[in-house]
Structure formats: structure tokens, C-alpha cells
Structure 1
Amino acid sequence: MTLVAAHDASTARRTQRGTDSYDGIEPLLEQLAAMAEDDRGRPALREQILRRCLPLADHIARRFTGRGETYDDLHQSASIGLILAVDRFDPARGSSFLAFAVPTIMGEVRRHFRDRTWAVRVPRRVKETQLALGPVIERLCQRDGRMPTAIEIAVEMNVDLLEVTQALMAGNAYRTNSLDASADDEEGSVAAQVAETLGDLDPAYDITDDALAVAPLLRDLSERDRRILHLRFFENCTQSQIARELGVSQMHISRILTRTLATLRERALRD
């Protein structure tokens, strides 16, 4: 779907459901910003704005359900994010409140997961960077009226791009899925377990096990026998080539290989 088609589809859906309660909220926010802190009408106007914007917090909280946290906890975090967005929004910058509020609320919900539900160990440095992302993203969103890119965040924070990328990716570490869980196919029916979709065992594991078992036994061989095994199995030399290099007959090399391999096999199986 093209951007134009996506925009038209989004507009059509909004037309069908009607306008949201937070549409056109900027004039009220401008009025709030113009009030003095001790203005008696300020608390009532602020509460009116928050009530109108609560559906936005509800919508974002529902987007994060099904990840191990209850809806009530998510809605509480989203509501805190909404309060922060209302209190921090600067109408003088000219950007829309929605473009500023969405990343602010989502940042607060993600912070809830970061602080309470880490399922995978994440380095402290990455956690600290991720905690610092929220205010930076909010500031850039209000300045540019859109979500910033990773490069823009790195420049704003004066840190390496890789560090920012790691911090953004670390947001996935608060939850893990069991490999024994069932996956759903496109039609919604229960499919095979996730583990069954990840391929088969790598045959190289058996080779690794064999190599680890044989390695200490090779040290007990004579230097000549080790040299013959190396030429045959690591340099892919034929018995005739080995015989010419060592100045012996091909039959002699064959007997050495047969004896050495039989000895290694016997000792490996016995051990």
C-alpha cells in the first residue's frame, strides 16, 4: 500500500468513527500555557484537557497488552505519560500535541517494562542509555513534529550510533517467549510449536563432540603419526602423496592410518 493510499484509508477510518476527543486540543493547551501557576482556573482546565486525552492513553495501553503485564498497570503508566505530555508540551513550538504525546506516553509504558519486567540480562550501560532516550525523543518529536531517527538521537545525545541502536533494541529484552508455546498461522488456527519451526539440529555439533573427545588422544600419538593424520584429513593428501613426502611406500602409510584410526576409535569409545 502506498503512503497516499494508507493516508486515505486512515482518514476513512477516522471519518467512520468520528473525531477523537483530543482532536483540536491545542487551543486549550495554549490557554493553559498562558495561565499563571497560581491561576484558580488552571487546575480545572488541566483536568479537562487530561479527561479529553485519556482515550489516547487507553489506546496506547491496549497496544501493549498481551506482553505479561495487566491492562490496569499499563493504563496507569500510560496515564502518567499523558500527564507528563500535557505538562511538558510547549504550544509556542508550533507542533501538534499528538505528535508529542504519543512518544511521551509510549516511552512511559516502555519504562514500566524496563523497570519491572526485564527477562534477559542487559548491560547497565545499555539500560542507562535507554532510560535517557525518553526525554531526548520527546524533545526531538516536539521540535520536528515526527519520530526521530536513530542517527538524530545519537547526534542529540552525543553518543555512538551503535550505542543508541543497542539501547533501542534492548526494549525487546523485557519479555521472552517459550519455545514450547504454540504459534498461530495466518488463518488463526493453532500451528506447531515454535521450536518445531526453527529447523533441525546442526550436524556439526556431532563433529565438534568427536573433535573434543579425540583431541587429548592425539597428543599421545607419535609426531610421525600425527603428521600423517594431518596430511590425510586436514590437507586432503592422498596416501601416495604422503608416502612420497615421507619417503616410504603407500602400503606402509595405509597400515599406519588403519592402525592409528583403530586405536583412536577404541580409546575414544572406551573413555
Structure 2
Amino acid sequence: MSARGDIGEQTDNTLEDLDAAALDFAVRRSGAAEAEADALRDELVRHCLPFAGRLARRYRGRGEQMEDLEQVARLGLVKAVDRYDPDRGSFTAYAVITISGELKRHFRDRTWGVHVPRRVQDLSLEVGHASMVLTSALARTPTVAELAEHLGVSEPAVLEAVESAAGYSPASLNAPVAGEGAAEFGDLIGGVDDDLESVTDKLTVTDLLLRLPTRERRMLAMRFYGNRTQAEIAAELGISQMHVSRLLSRALSWLREAMLNDAPPPWEGESRAGHQHGMEVSVSRDGSALRVRVRGEVDRDTAERLRTGLRHAVTTGGTGSVVVDLAGVPLVDAAGVSVLLEAVRVAAQAGTEICVSGAQPYVARILAVSGLAGVLRRC
């Protein structure tokens, strides 16, 4: 046999005799002094270094330098020698467990770019090693079922370990992209969110909606969020469809104006009326005339109150005039127009002159469209 063959055989024999060497070390250390025990320990460690290197080579090709793996394996060997107890069994088996544990811990704690549970990390390493073993034995890539059977685990666990392997060395978002000039990988992820620019407008509208009266907010919600028709809204609120149309139009106009201004405009009728949906009628003497002040919306619910107030003013005004002050009225619907037209007829029968003053633009437009402006003059 050649000299080279003798060396190889001697190395193999040395690795096979680790248990005997460790047992001899334990016996000699038991009665030795501290210095002699340290020397015996160093001698056993040097004797087992090739064995630690062989275990480290099992984990090569996984992104770590071989020198680093050997250092970790040697650290595990030193721990195995220091903790070895011959009464607990084979030194070789104990050293394999200790060194492999150190190598796995190194990969788990030092090399993973993304946090992955420990059990998944360990299984990922086992799957990688088993894949290499089975590929060599089968001359092909093993299936998930074959890996699961080889490792004694379930197929879902193998799939989880394979997927988690991507977290070992994740791609950098700053990595350059080939063929894309100076572009980076992160530039290709995601897209422009067209709705992002509307976030500020949505927040502004939300705040403005809270400034509207409860009824208007409810109507807007029913129309634009509940997709209800104006007729359905009118039936539920107990008002006419035309009134619903006017209220929605006024609310949308206010929202539009408020969106275009730094400070939202006042809601017409709210601050003056004292309450949002009620109406107040007061009669006072202004020289020879009676002034009927109206505050609030004039609709089907409040028209009767206005009728009573106007009849009282016309019948008690004598030969003087009656001035209907509409400065505090933000809205007049068909019922309000009917009441005013009736007041004109009653005043003509009583020989009393009646006129309106202070009509807001929206109310003035209603009076003009309804034809009331032709028979009810402005003061």
C-alpha cells in the first residue's frame, strides 16, 4: 500500500477511534492536576479537529464562508469536550449533536435576513440537507412527499420550510436592475395610487359634513351612500320631492363653496333661527306698518305657522301696510309660496298693502320662478 493510502487509512481510523480517545481522556483527567487536565483537553480537541471540519463541510454552499463554519464547529467541539460524561454514552454521538446545534444556531441567529421562527429555520436547514442527499441518491430533484418521508414530517411543514428559505437572504430594494439604467429593484414595486391625492379632499368633506344640520347630513347619506332616489327620501322624511331636491342642492352648493374657501361660509338660517329646522314668526309695530319677521325654513311643516302669523297681521293691521321680513329665511318651498299668495289675496280683501323685504338670493329666485314676485312687491 502506498504512503498516501496509509495516511488516509490512519485518518479514518483516527475518526473512528474518537470514542476510545474520549474515554481515555476522561480516565486520565480524573486523577490529573489542573495543568495536566488542560493539556489532555487540548490534545483531545486537536485530535477531533478533522471530525469537526467534516461536520462543518455539510453546511457549505449556504452563503457562509467555510472558515467561519469551521470556527463555529470547533467552538461546538470544545463545548462537547468540556461537557463530556462517559457515563452518558458515546462521545461521537454527543459531539455530533453539540456541533450541529452550534452550526444551526449560527445560521439561525447570524445569517437570516428576515425573522423566521426557530422551528422553521431548523427545518429549512434540514430540508436543504435532505434535498442534497436525495438528489444524489435519486439522480433527480426530490418531491415534497419524498422530503417529508425522509425527514419524518408533514408535507405542509416541508412547504413552509421551503417558502421560509426566501427569508434567509432577501433581495435588496436598492439592488440595481439590469437593463433599466439607474433604476433600482424598489422602483419596480408598487404603483402610483391615484386615490392618494384625494385623501385630503375626503378628510375635508368629512369635517364639513359634520357642520351641516342633521337632516341635510341624513339626506346626503341616503342619496350618495344609500343610493336612494329623491322620491324615496321624500317619503321617508315626510316632505315633497321638490323640497328634497332643493335641500340637496343647497347642501351641495354649500359644500362646494366651503371646499373652495379657507373658512367655511355660515349655514344660512342656522345661526339666526336659533334651531335648525324650526321657524319663528314675530309681529311688531314699525311706525304705521306692522313688520312680520320670519326666521327659519318655510316648508310644509312650518307653513301653517306662517299662515297664522300673516292672517293675524293683516286682520289687525288696519289701513296700514304689512311688511314681511324674509331676511332670516334660507328656504321657501311650494307650501310657503302658497301661504304668501294667500296672504296677498287676504290683504287685498282687507284693503291692506303687503310687501316683502330682505329676501335672500335663493328665496328671491323661488319667488320669481313661482310668479309671486309679480303680485307681491318688494318694500
Which structure 2 residues correspond to residues 103-252 of structure 1 after superposition, within 5 A? 103-112=101-110, 178-182=172-176, 193-203=184-194, 205-206=196-197, 208-252=199-243
Amino acid at match of 2:234: A
Between Structure 1 and Structure 2, the one with more strand by share is: 2
Matched, 1:263 2:254: yes
Amino acid at match of 1:27: E
TM-score normalised by L of structure 1: 0.51
Q: Which residue among 19, 37, 44 is the counterpart of 1:30? A: 19
1:150-181: CA deviation from partner (whole Å, max 9, x where unpaired)? xxxxxxxxxxxxxxxxxxx8xx69x8764332
1:44-79: CA deviation from partner (whole Å, max 9, x where unpaired)? 2321312442354366476244xxxx8876764564
Q: Which runs of 5+ in 2 are unaligned?
A: 1-7, 30-36, 123-149, 154-163, 263-379
1:141 is matched with which residue?
Answer: none
State whether residues 214 and 268 of structure 1, in contact with CA within 8 Å, keep that contact through their aligned partners in structure 2: yes
Deviation at 1:93, TM superposition (A): 9.0
More off after superposition, 211-220 vs 250-259: 250-259
Secondary structure of 1:63's aligned partner: coil
TM-score normalised by L of structure 2: 0.39
2:52 is matched with which residue?
Answer: 53
CA distance in 2, matches of 1:83, 1:52: 12
CA distance in 2, matches of 1:92, 1:81: 16
2:365 is matched with which residue?
Answer: none
CA distance in 2, matches of 1:177, 1:58: 26
CA distance in 2, matches of 1:190, 1:252: 61
CA distance in 1, matches of 2:13, 2:253: 84
Deviation at 1:215, TM superposition (A): 2.0
Deviation at 1:113, TM superposition (A): 5.8
Secondary structure of 1:101's aligned partner: helix
Deviation at 1:227, TM superposition (A): 0.6
1:111-162: CA deviation from partner (whole Å, max 9, x where unpaired)? 3469xxxx99x9xxx9xx97xx99xxxxxxxxxxx9898xxxxxxxxxxxxx
1:9 is matched with which residue?
Answer: none
State whether residues 82 and 101 of structure 1, in contact with CA within 8 Å, keep that contact through their aligned partners in structure 2: yes
* Distance 1:50-1:72 versus aligned 2 partners, 3 A rule: closer
State whether residues 183 and 190 of structure 1, in contact with CA within 8 Å, keep that contact through their aligned partners in structure 2: yes
1:101 is matched with which residue?
Answer: 99
Q: Which runs of 5+ in 1 are unaligned?
A: 1-18, 135-145, 150-168
* Higher RCO by CA contacts (8 Å cutoff, separation 6 or greater): 1
Deviation at 1:225, TM superposition (A): 1.0
* Distance 1:223-1:53 versus aligned 2 partners, 3 A rule: same
1:163 is matched with which residue?
Answer: none
CA distance in 2, matches of 1:83, 1:49: 10
Between Structure 1 and Structure 2, the one with more helix by share is: 1
Deviation at 1:237, TM superposition (A): 1.5
* Distance 1:214-1:76 versus aligned 2 partners, 3 A rule: farther
Matched, 1:80 2:69: no
Q: Choose 1 or 2 for highest CA Rg.
A: 2
Secondary structure of 1:199's aligned partner: coil
* Distance 1:100-1:75 versus aligned 2 partners, 3 A rule: closer
